[in-house]
A and B are shown apart, each in its own frame.
Chain A
Amino acid sequence: MLDHAWIIPLIPVVSFFLILFFGKRFPSKGASIGCVALGICFALSLVLGAQWIGRDKTIEPLHHATAQQVRAAESGRASSAQGGEAGGEKVEMKRAPVVHETTWFQTGGIKIKAGVLIDGLSVALLVVVSTISLLVHIFSTEYLRDDRRKTHYFAALSLFTSGMFILVTSSNTLQMIFGWELMGLCSFMLIGHWWEDKNNSNAALKAFFTTRTGDIGLLVGISMLFGLAHNTFDIGRINSLAMSGRLDQGLLTVAAAALLLAVIGKSAQFPLHTWLPDAMAGPTPVSALIHAATMVVAGVFLISRLYGVFWQGFHIGTANGFTPVAIVGGVTIIIAAALAFVQSDIKKVLAYSTVSQLGYMVMALGVGGWTAAVFHLFTHAFFKACLFLGAGSVAHSGSHHSFDMKEDMGGLKKHMPITYATFVIASLALAGIIPFAGFWSKDEILVSAHANGYNTFLWVGLVGALMTAAYMTRCIYLTFHGEARGAAAHHHPHESPLPITGPLVFLAVLSVVAGFVQAPMLHIEAFANIVEPAYVSSVVNHSGFNGGLALAGLIAAFAGIGIAGGYYFRNLGPRGLTSRNGAARAGYTFLVNKYYLDDIYTDGVVGSIKGPIARAAYWINQNVIDGVLNGAAALAIMLGRFTYDIVDQRIVDGAVNGLGLSAEAGGGALRTVQTGKVQQYAAILFGALIVFAVALWRFAK
């Protein structure tokens, strides 16, 4: 499988076309094709993972000619940056990435390759994506059982999955753009799946355009890296060159900043996070797949994949406690978590939670915790998908397709025991309670922040953990406890059928056990061992266990649960604060309006484009462009006249008429010769013969 990993991205592509062209003929409307295809992908990914684990470790993974110099430069830098720990003689055994490439096209002497790069990171991502995608496919067969565009839905789901596969397995940055944009497109199609509702199609457009804004950065960044790395898109080469320190430092920083913009757009980081909550307009399984577990982590993946660029560009190893990446992530954690408190839509709570958790991943990368970030990506995918699918289950069977926790939910605990249990387990994992998955990965992030000297972000992480626990407690209370309200009271809530509960239980189990692949407390470091940074391992060190931080994280999480639990379950604390206290009300309004970011974007950015710029464009259109057009038209008319009068009428027609006339005159002259008298012809014949004979006689000599 390691040598034939290209099959995995290919399967969903094939499935996409099969569903699109033949899906309607199946009784399942194509859903079964998608499920089978993803089932195969899932199995192949597991095989791939097993083979990767079984791959022999070698000493030198870098496959380029300059590897020796690169390594020397790296270890020199690492030892100066991090003291004796990563010393010059550090030679670590690890698995070499498997790269298979073929020439995609050739232009101007530059060969553009297309290929597959399999290393620990892509294997981990493949397993996560295929698992979640398979479960979401199964979930969707029930959730969208009678949807009118079921075929297109499953086709887009397949195409989306292939986009993610292409992204995580690509061996060059150009191919990454391909997968990245494919996901953007599919995200647009799936968010706007029920486009009859204007809000949904608006949300789809918003998601598309907002991520597009970030994509500008992607194009700029990748183009710059192409130039910087001497005309190559090769990921391994770009990382090696970036780490070697031989590239222009200023340009590298600009390229990293451009790529960070792409990450901010795609991974919904502050200030471009606003599209993700709106993207909840799509069907819930889509939210679980795209806006929790896979697509939004593409940005995180981009940083981890090109970590050498970010490491050097932003001086992550030597910065004094602050890097742009970490700041973006840290700010996102706090502001998104705060927003999650004021949402009444259960999916929006989860959406802001996702934004916040993505902030954790980006922050972890910003503080040098490569393994921590990828590990959090890994565990977060499972429990966040579980939460989203749980919310879908509630809406499907409990609250009559409403997602409003305050109006249409409450008291669903006794009606939906399985959904409740899985939701609570996933929430505990998200909140970071031991021994659930989220605890281990969040702890890893905190340890990394501490070990690399980023103490500010350690506190950010702890505050974020507290807020996360608190808003999830609020969410569980409003959804499952208290008295039934609205649809939950009137529409006979019941437990969902097996295609929904099955994936939920599976994901809940994963939410419990997924963390144990990397539990330094128990001396298990399998994840760090398997998913090792392929090209930048010399600088990324893994930080071990810190009992004090684990305790602090747990205290923060329990404090969050305690505060929110006391407020909601025990009815403690002040009530109606927002109506009595002006400051609290102002804060609440500020949060409900999402920091007015949407207004700034709509009125400030879009408005300024629509207003003066549009008017200016109109003026230019009317006066300049129309003037040019009118002038051109007048000129064209003049030219036309001239052509007609002179060229056409006189020259062309004259030539044609002249030809006709001369032919006529010639014919008239020649017809007199044509007397019809055979003997005259004969006379002309003999006359000519005589002329020829004389000519022959006179000149032939």
Chain B
Amino acid sequence: MVLNWFLFLAAVLFCTGVYGVLARKNGVLVLMSVELILNAVNLNLVAFGAFNQTVTGQIFALFVIAIAAAEVGVGLAIVLLIYRNRQSVDLTGIDALKG
């Protein structure tokens, strides 16, 4: 099995996710990009697990998926409330915590 391909794919996914988190203005897309980052990590975990002939990677990936689900639930709820308050999900205007 060739590990590099998996790692390469995961890196591409990760970079895409980072770009999405930092650059997109739409809240929903930022959340989706976060999912991309998480799944890139999952891919790494599973790949290394398979490469090393252990199940640890897979179990860890399962945990990450469960946490990601919860995170998306909370995140989408926040985005929904922001939309209700401001009729928009544009993140550039949301700086109420400015110091």
Residues of A within 8 A of B (CB): 670-679, 682-683, 686
Q: Does B98 contact A (CB under 8 A)?
A: yes
Contacts of B94 in A (CB 8 A): 676-678
Contacts of B73 in A (CB 8 A): none
A682 to B33, CA, bound (A): 12
In the bound complex, do residue B91 and residue A676 qualify as a contact, i.e. CB atoms below 8 Å apart? no
Minimum CB–CB distance for A676 against chain B, Å: 3
In the bound complex, do residue B22 and residue A682 qualify as a contact, i.e. CB atoms below 8 Å apart? yes
Instruction: Tell me the nearest residue of chain B to A668, going by C-beta.
Output: B99
Q: Does B30 contact A (CB under 8 A)?
A: yes
Can you give 20 A-B contacts (C-beta < 8 A)?
A670-B99, A673-B99, A674-B98, A674-B99, A675-B98, A675-B99, A676-B94, A676-B95, A676-B96, A676-B98, A676-B99, A677-B91, A677-B92, A677-B94, A677-B95, A678-B91, A678-B94, A682-B21, A686-B18, A686-B22
Minimum CB–CB distance for A692 against chain B, Å: 15
Kindly list 13 other residue pairs between chains A and B, CB separation below 8 angstroms, not including A671-B99, A674-B99, A676-B95: A672-B99, A673-B99, A674-B97, A674-B98, A675-B95, A675-B99, A676-B94, A676-B96, A676-B98, A677-B94, A678-B91, A682-B21, A686-B18
Minimum CB–CB distance for A686 against chain B, Å: 6
A244 to B99, CA, bound (A): 97
Minimum CB–CB distance for A628 against chain B, Å: 62
When A686-B18, A686-B22 are in contact, do A679 and B91 touch as well, CB less than 8 Å?
yes
A678 to B21, CA, bound (A): 10
In the bound complex, do residue B95 and residue A679 qualify as a contact, i.e. CB atoms below 8 Å apart? no
A689 to B96, CA, bound (A): 26
Instruction: Tell me the nearest residue of chain B to A679, going by C-beta.
Output: B22
A678 to B30, CA, bound (A): 11
Residues of B within 8 A of A (CB): 18, 21-23, 30, 91-92, 94-99
A677 to B92, CA, bound (A): 7
Contacts of A682 in B (CB 8 A): 21-22
Minimum CB–CB distance for B15 against chain A, Å: 11
Contacts of A677 in B (CB 8 A): 91-92, 94-95, 98
Contacts of A686 in B (CB 8 A): 18, 22
A675 to B92, CA, bound (A): 11
A532 to B99, CA, bound (A): 102
Instruction: Tell me the nearest residue of chain A to B98, going by C-beta.
Output: A676
Q: Which of B18, B22, B30, B97 contacts A676 (CB 8 A)?
A: B97
Contacts of A674 in B (CB 8 A): 97-99
Contacts of A683 in B (CB 8 A): 22
Minimum CB–CB distance for A658 against chain B, Å: 23
User: Among A670, A671, A677, A683, which residue has the most Cβ atoms of chain B within 10 A?
Assistant: A677
A678 to B22, CA, bound (A): 9
A673 to B92, CA, bound (A): 16
Contacts of B99 in A (CB 8 A): 670-676
A584 to B11, CA, bound (A): 138
Contacts of B97 in A (CB 8 A): 674, 676
Contacts of B18 in A (CB 8 A): 686
Minimum CB–CB distance for A668 against chain B, Å: 10
Contacts of A676 in B (CB 8 A): 94-99
Minimum CB–CB distance for B10 against chain A, Å: 15
Minimum CB–CB distance for B88 against chain A, Å: 15
A686 to B92, CA, bound (A): 19
Contacts of A679 in B (CB 8 A): 21-23, 30, 91
A672 to B95, CA, bound (A): 13
Minimum CB–CB distance for B25 against chain A, Å: 9
Minimum CB–CB distance for B27 against chain A, Å: 9
Contacts of B96 in A (CB 8 A): 676
Instruction: Tell me the nearest residue of chain B to A670, going by C-beta.
Output: B99
Instruction: Tell me the nearest residue of chain B to A671, going by C-beta.
Output: B99
Contacts of B22 in A (CB 8 A): 679, 682-683, 686
A683 to B20, CA, bound (A): 11
Contacts of B21 in A (CB 8 A): 679, 682
A670 to B99, CA, bound (A): 9
Q: Give 9 closest A-B pairs by Cβ, nearest first.
A: A674-B99, A676-B95, A676-B98, A671-B99, A676-B97, A677-B95, A683-B22, A682-B21, A679-B22
Instruction: Tell me the nearest residue of chain A to B97, going by C-beta.
Output: A676
Contacts of A671 in B (CB 8 A): 99
A678 to B94, CA, bound (A): 8
Minimum CB–CB distance for B20 against chain A, Å: 10
Minimum CB–CB distance for B67 against chain A, Å: 18
A673 to B23, CA, bound (A): 18
Instruction: Tell me the nearest residue of chain A to B92, going by C-beta.
Output: A677
A672 to B99, CA, bound (A): 7
Minimum CB–CB distance for B93 against chain A, Å: 10
A674 to B99, CA, bound (A): 5
Instruction: Tell me the nearest residue of chain A to B99, going by C-beta.
Output: A674
Contacts of B98 in A (CB 8 A): 674-677
